[in-house]
Structure 1
Amino acid sequence: MNYRFPEKVNWNARNLILEVAEKGRTIPGFISLAMGNPAEEAIPVELIRACAAEVLAEDPIGLLQYGPMAGDADLLRWVKDRMVHGKGCAAEGNQGILLSGSGKGLGLMPRTMCQEGDEVYCDAFCFLNTPASVRNVGAIPVGIPSDDQGMIPEALEERAKSGKGKYIYLIPNFHNPMGITIPLERRKELYEVAAKYDLLIYEDDPYGDIRFAGEPVPSFKSMDTDGRVVYAGSFSKTLSAGLRVGFLYAPDGLIRKFAAVKSADGQEPMLNQRIISRCLSKLDFNEYLKSISQIYGRKCALMAESLRQHCSPRCRVLVPEGGLFIWVEMPADVDMDAVNDAVIDAGVGVVRSAAFAVDESEPGHAFRLNFSALPDDKIARGAEIFGRVTRQFCDKI
């Protein structure tokens, strides 16, 4: 049959992260620093097992039937309390909605807010599901240049003058892939541009609770004076990625419209939400976050030290204050595809910046390395091998 697809889905769906995984399966002893999985030792397996048994024993039929569209009421109350008292956001005029992982919000936002031809502004190197979700509705993801403090406000404003913009997508804490945290003054400047051009801000914060250095920075949502910020949170990086529970916290009018659009997808699994809710009721969550952040901080320091020791001095290693990723910038005169192939041939998987490029014609000269998913010895060994390959290509030029 000759399938005829609409223009909005006729874009390149190549996934360089999955390509690394496929190649790695054929190489004995392959060390993948490509995936963004949480650390196994940071998942509270016994707590989750006990809570799953408890909630199923208490209300099996209630959890195995359809649930409310907004999600579990107890978990929604916890989310609101956390956003208000933990993150300094306004209670009045805002509410939450639960999702199957915060990633589902990436599709819900453009489905709700965008028409074909609308523009969505994101970093030039961006979490790859974001531009895909925007393109899927016929809108246009536009990459905005960044520096070490995140998206550049002047560059954003220049593009926003088109009048076609709907919202700005930002990962303000421990950016994926670059690891950047946007400082407070830059956040204020970006918010001012959003207000000037009547843009919403989608604040994606799946990593924000995993901080192991520096001081917390107020969220965009805590600065939201005119109802333009949608905050996306997740329990995937703190409790369990596999349970797939996340949320949006946003102005009432937006949440009601999100719920209406989401109704076409049906309800989310109540069992997963109730397990997360029960886990939270048994934890001192702030103390728990400190404990898992120590795990990630140790892993990050281990990778950073190995990279500093073994990478070419022509490389620039950006070490984050939290999250899961280190960004390594390469010299502009290096063949990125050749380096990538050599790293894989040496038995290590990393992700080149082209995987995150909003504009395919500007693939960049950097690699993202994940330090969370592997045991310490493989983190150090994988970073060492990657570093030695960079010397082969960078130091001979």
Structure 2
Amino acid sequence: MPGKERILKRYLLLISAVFSLCIAGIFLATATRNANLMQEQLLTSARSHFTAIVVTRNWSAQHGGVYVIKRPGVASTPYLNDPDVVTTEGLVLTLKNPALMTREISDIAGENDLFSFHITSMKPLNPNNAPDLFETQALQSFEQGQEESFLMEDKAEGARLRYMAPLMVEQSCLACHAKQGYAVGQVRGGISVSFSIDEMNRAIRQSYQVILALTLVTLGLLLFSLWLVFRRMQQRLDVAQAQLREMATVDALTGVANRGSIMERFSEDFAKQRRLGGALGCLMIDVDFFKSVNDSFGHQKGDEVLKELASIISGSLRPYDTFGRYGGEEFLMVLEGESADRLAAVAERSRALVEEQLSAQCDLPKPLTISLGGALVLASDKCIDDVIQRADRALYRAKEQGRNRAVLILEEEPGPAGASPC
């Protein structure tokens, strides 16, 4: 039993581990896929912002920039030649080139905590447009043919996505940048897009939490189901083992110990008596005229007689006494700590109970009786067969003396009759 229980537990642990690994793998795969989808969504948003500002910038470049009214707070850019013009009405206008326009749009978006743009190059006209470390590395990668670059930054003010893609030199760019040696088709610089991803990160974390919770619930239900299956299997195994033990130790007809079981118990008691001393005896019991019951009333009635006999006698014994079916209509009783007088008293009590109750319980017209033969373990006995042999001889003498009685042999008998079968 313990060995098989350990095997079942190991099997349960193995299955649980496999399920746990599978569920964990599904969780990781789902979480990774969600993270990749979220990242792709962020990049799609960044590309959209980049495309929008590039289109706006190209429109401005194609028109040579945009003139705006020079109001208080609107300064002329020092990096352009003659940026200011005066209309015939005396209105002063100042030129906003594409780079400056991009920067001012970025400032407005940043004030509203939306996003920011930064147009830059390795050789900017405006020192304020100089690239930072991320932009420098991105520009260098564009020179090597890379089409875009992005980075997720965690700073004190929050997490942000930085995205950058190259600006290629077009004909409209040469109006301002021809003197820097650029040619159409070259990488002029790039525009970096930056926006907060705190909300997206919160959504990702919440998604992870939901997925993890569902994973744990699913895993818990699976493990609980496995435990129920294991418990059911163990219960069935216990029942099957109990049935096997019963089949191995209990007589199927009468429900008392079978021959193998009672002989094993008798051998254990015999070995114990040899080690510790004390009294030990046995009684052989046989139903008188049992064949006539089968012949007159059928074998079914004979089986009923044996079952009732076993019930009557076993109900009168002490918990530690042993009683079982020896074979056919014979039964064996093993009694610990009994003297000759006590052995005789138990034999007589059993005989009287059977005579009083058996025929009535089996609904038979005539009384049914038993004969008993008893023997005590002697110092000269080598095994239980010596004791059983004497009890069997005593039973035979009880039959010879008229049945319905008990005969005890309490000492070794000389001659061939006393030869040991051990």
Larger radius of gyration: 2
Q: Tell whether the structures are fold-level matches, with TM greater than 0.5.
A: no
Please report the TM-score for the alignment, with normalisation by the length of structure 2: 0.17
- Using CA pairs below 8 Å that are at least 6 residues apart, which structure has the higher relative contact order? 1
More helix by share: 2
